[in-house]
Every structure is written in C-alpha cells, then in structure tokens.
Homo-oligomer: A and B are copies of this chain.
Amino acid sequence: MNEQVFLKKYDVCKYPKPSVTADISIFSIFDEGRKNYRKLPDKKLKVLLVKRGRPPFEGMYALPGGFLREHETLEQTAYRELLEETGVECNFLEQLKTYSTIGRDPRGWIITCAFMALIDGASIQVYGGDDATSAEWFQISFRETGCSENGIVWELVLEKDNIRLTALVQQADDAKYQAECPHFTVLEQNGLAFDHALLLADAICSLRRLIGRTNIAFELLPPMFTLSDLQQVYETVLDRKLLTPSFRRKIVELVEETDQFQETVGHRPSKLFMARCR
C-alpha cells in the first residue's frame, strides 16, 4: 500500500475530536484626562472584553474569540474573530498557550488557543464612537496581594465606569523557576466568563515579560512618539517607575530620531522618535 492509496483510505474522522477556539487578550494603552494644561496625561493599560449576549455566562464578560474554521490557521481565527467581534484590526498577534483543562467550557469538549494582541490606543479612539459592538476597554490592575501557604496570591481587577470584574489567582510554588511566567490557578472570579481570568492573568504576565525582551512596546504607540511616551508605556505595563537616564541608555538603540517635535505642550517640547527597523 503506497502513501497515496493510504491517504485516500485514511479516515481522520473516526476518533472523537474537540472543538477548538482562539481567544484574544488585546491590550492597549490610553491617555486618561490630564489635570491641567502643563501636566502629562496618565496612561492606563486596558484590555478589550465582550459582554456575553447568550448562555453560558450570559451577561458576564469574556475575551473576544471564536471557533477555528476549516482552511484557516489559529492565527487567522484570532485575527478574524477580533475583527468580527470588536471591529479591531490588529497588526500584532502572538500565540501564547493552549488550554485544554477538562470542564473548562460548560458547552462541552472545547480547547482554546490563547493569543495576545496589541494596538495603539490613539488609533482606537477614532473609531471608538460607534456602539456597534458590546466590546469595552477595561482598565487593568494585576498585583501581588499576599502569600498563602501554597504560594503568592495575585489580584486581578478590571474596571470600566461602574463595572468592576475581579479575580484572585495563586502562583504555583513548585515549578516556580521552571517556567518564565508563573503557573496560576484561579481561586475566585467575579464577572468573568469561562477560564478567562486565568487566560488574562497569563497574558498580562507574558506582556510584562515580553516588553522587556522584545520590541513590542512600539505596537502600543503611534508611528511617531516621544521617549517620555515610550517610557510611560513601559512603566504602565510593568506597573512601576523606571529611572529615565537608565531607560534612555537602553532604548536609544531601538529608536530612530526624527527632526520633529511635539507642539503646544505647556513645557519644553519633546523630540519625536520612530521605531528603528533593522
């Protein structure tokens, strides 16, 4: 029996198969209102969540996502679902991890491949006016809050106007140093659908790790930006202050100077930079 004959007779359908979805944690950074004309606006890290209009978890919030279709890759699924569900066309999409825990989806046997997407906040606000979708940007807080006997506990808080979604996750003590990001288990979750608190906690960790080791910060900014903007992006993602001279020494090799400057700020205008392509 040669290869061609074999393949003709091969029935890939004889075993039960899971459904496969892609879920996307899409992050962006927005300027929040400035206090006076001199001050720089604060930046906030946000994630786009969709209010579920049907069971299961009707009325709760979930990451955008959907089913893998024939003749498309998981990356294409992620891109398509993000566009369909939220109207966002992103140009940075990175696969993170596939979740296959038993019972993770009450609808049945469904595994999901998690993605991280990034988009420039300024480009979003332009199209943000139409309410065609129920997608909303939630401000993120994700911090260690203490230490249980089984490991460090982190609190995830997502806020949008009066809506407040929360989760408590625990960092596995064993294997603490075997993976680059901690392995979390969810202790509590309020207002978030499925296992999406876990997906989001993992995604935030990946974002914090990757921003220090790669170029992805530029995906969160418009093509031209100031070094202060760039530093604020790092600080907002990492949730801590950085020292400016040290930050600049490191970042200078990743950016290209332009001859343009900021205008009409209430202080010394900052030079504009671009990401260096190399």
Contact = CB atoms under 8 A, between A and B. Distances in A.
A83 interface: no
Interface in A38-76: 54-58, 67-75
A1 to B, nearest CB: 7
B179 A214 contact: yes
A54 B7 CA distance: 11
Chain A interface category by residue count: 35 or more
A55 B7 contact: yes
A15 B7 contact: no
Contact of A20 (B20, B54, B180, B210): B20
B7 A68 contact: no
Given A107-B10, A178-B214, A3 B70 contact: no
A18 B17 CA distance: 7
Interface stretch (A29-37, A92-100, A150-158, A222-230): A92-100
Contacts of A135: none
Contacts of A72: 102
B214 A20 contact: no
Given A17-B18, A18-B17, A7 B106 contact: yes
A19 interface: yes
Given A18-B68, A20-B111, A177-B215, 14 more contacts: A1-B55, A2-B55, A3-B55, A6-B56, A7-B106, A12-B107, A15-B67, A68-B111, A70-B109, A72-B102, A73-B100, A74-B100, A94-B179, A95-B98
